[in-house]
Chains A and B, each alone.
Chain A
Amino acid sequence: MGLLSKKDAALIKDPLLDNNPITIQVLGICSALAITAELKASIVMSISVLFVLGVGNVVISLMRNIIPSKIRIIVQLIVVATLVIIVDLVLKAFAYELSKTLSVFVGLIITNCIIMGRFEAFALGNGPWRSFLDGIGNAVGYGVILIAVGFFRELLGSGTLLGFKVLGDPIEKTGLYAIGYENNGFMLLSPMALIVVGIIIWVQRTKNKSLIEEH
């Protein structure tokens, strides 16, 4: 990242691993559980959050000196809600089927703790460029986990990836199914998302012992 100073680069890099919003801060779990049954929904949710958090952080940062402190939470909510409605309308107009899959969850973005958290903790006290990087970093960190969970759940639950039958056809008994492999329907249910996230947290903390909290 030659374009960015070391400090700026850290804004993007930290949330990807050592300060990941999902696995370390354990924020945004609700959407991570709800929509990761398919890879496609995970990717779309990640992109939507990337947009909302990237733009939202910049907007809040630009307004940080004029926002009255008494109503700053309300102002933050209005900014998120506006951006979310924009995402929703655009999806409805240009990716209708996707917007139907996401209908309930697009609303979830408004209450996504990562977004309010970044507005309050970062954008209110930093300039637009740094806030933008912070927003992108956190959204990508969120997206990486979402996509990883979606990948495993769709692969093991439906035997497909993005709808393509990568493991063969379960009805025709081709590919892996020919030797007796079965899809695990349990992977499609929300509890398995929690377990997959748990496994990711476990792997991450095993690799980097400094992340383990002392109790």
Chain B
Amino acid sequence: MSKRTDSNSYTMIFAVVMVLIVGSLLAFLASSLKPAIKENERIEKQQNILYAMGVNENDESSATFVSTSVAGEEFAKYIKKQIVIEGDKISENDEAYLIDVKKQQANAKEGKIRKLPLFIGEKEGKTFYVAPIRGKGLWDAIWGYVSMDENMVVQGAYFDHKGETPGLGANIKQRYFMDDFYGEHLLTKAGVFKGITVAKGNNDPKNEEKTDYEVDAIAGATITGDGVSAMIKKDLALYVPYFKSLKK
């Protein structure tokens, strides 16, 4: 069938017009929905931080946040102080949770000072220090929030990912993996930062040994697990001076 739609010039014009229409339609939609999406991401950050310090609605196996409608309220209730550490300078900032860890990591690479946000929460008389971490998984970014006590013993962790393999790497956000971090020590007795390794052969799958600096890895998710170890070691090490200063 030879029609006018088969000519080269028609094909070209069609392609250009179609791309223009589709492009502007998507651009318009993306910018008009942006505020709503940003708001959702903001609430999610609050939920993540609360989750790490144990304010959540977990049942026996699922990881469930406090509901979005009360996230703001709960955040204000439990998070007593938000601080930003810039080198030796420590300042309070009520919107420290909005600091983009990715941007700050890029800043650090360029030699600029990296702003380190830390959220200090209080629950049932106990103080929690929640720090954000970010790193690389197998396919894309992974990130998380780790809450610690003043001795840098982990009190809870939340991990999330952008595009890890469902059923394998994506399981870092499952309870059985995240719960293993609870009680793990980050510092040696002498006070040297050692971090936590997601280890395959640690002979401690039930995670009873809390001072071995290891948690049990997920089968089939070696690279994602290594990414989790790396981001814990890299990002949490930066907070060590602050925790040392607490002791003085």
Contacts and interface: CB of A to CB of B under 8 A. Distances in A.
Contacts of B25: 82
B37 A93 contact: yes
B5 A67 contact: yes
B191 interface: no
21 contacts: A66-B5, A66-B14, A68-B5, A68-B10, A68-B15, A69-B1, A69-B5, A69-B6, A71-B11, A75-B18, A89-B29, A89-B37, A90-B33, A92-B36, A92-B37, A92-B40, A96-B40, A96-B43, A170-B60, A171-B60, A190-B167
Judged by DSSP, the binding face of A is: helix
Interface string A73-103: 0110010001001100110111011000001
B6 A70 contact: yes
Nearest to A172: B60
B40 A70 contact: no
A20 B30 CA distance: 35
Most central of A70, A71, A74, A78 by chain B CB within 10 Å: A70
Interface in B39-88: 40-41, 43-44, 60-61, 68
Interface residues of A, number: 28
B26 interface: yes
Nearest to B41: A96
B163 interface: yes
A189 interface: yes
B37 A67 contact: no
Contacts, number: 63
Interface of A: 34, 65-71, 74-75, 78, 82, 85-86, 89-90, 92-94, 96-97, 103-104, 158, 170-171, 189-190
B246 interface: no
B55 to A, nearest CB: 17
Contacts of B10: 68
Contacts of B19: 78
A82 B26 contact: yes
B26 A71 contact: no
B36 A94 contact: yes
B22 interface: yes
B125 interface: no
Contacts of B43: 96
A85 B26 contact: yes
Contacts of A104: 163, 166, 170
